[in-house]
Amino acid sequence: MLKYLLAIAVALAGTLGLAGCSSRAETVGTVGGAAGGAALGSAVTGGSTIGTLGGAAAGGYIGDQLGKDYDKKHNK
Q: What is the pLDDT along the chain (76 residues), one digit of tens a residue?
A: 677 677 777 666 665 555 555 567 778 888 888 888 988 988 999 988 899 889 999 998 998 898 888 888 887 5
| CA 38 – CA 33 distance, rounded (Å) | 8
CA 64 to each of CA 19, 31, 50: distance values in angstroms, whole numbers, following the listed order: 8, 8, 21
| CA 65 – CA 69 distance, rounded (Å) | 6
Delimit the domains of the chain by residue range: 2-73
What is the pTM for the complete model shown?
Answer: 0.68
**Helices 24-45/49-73 angle, 10° precision:** 150
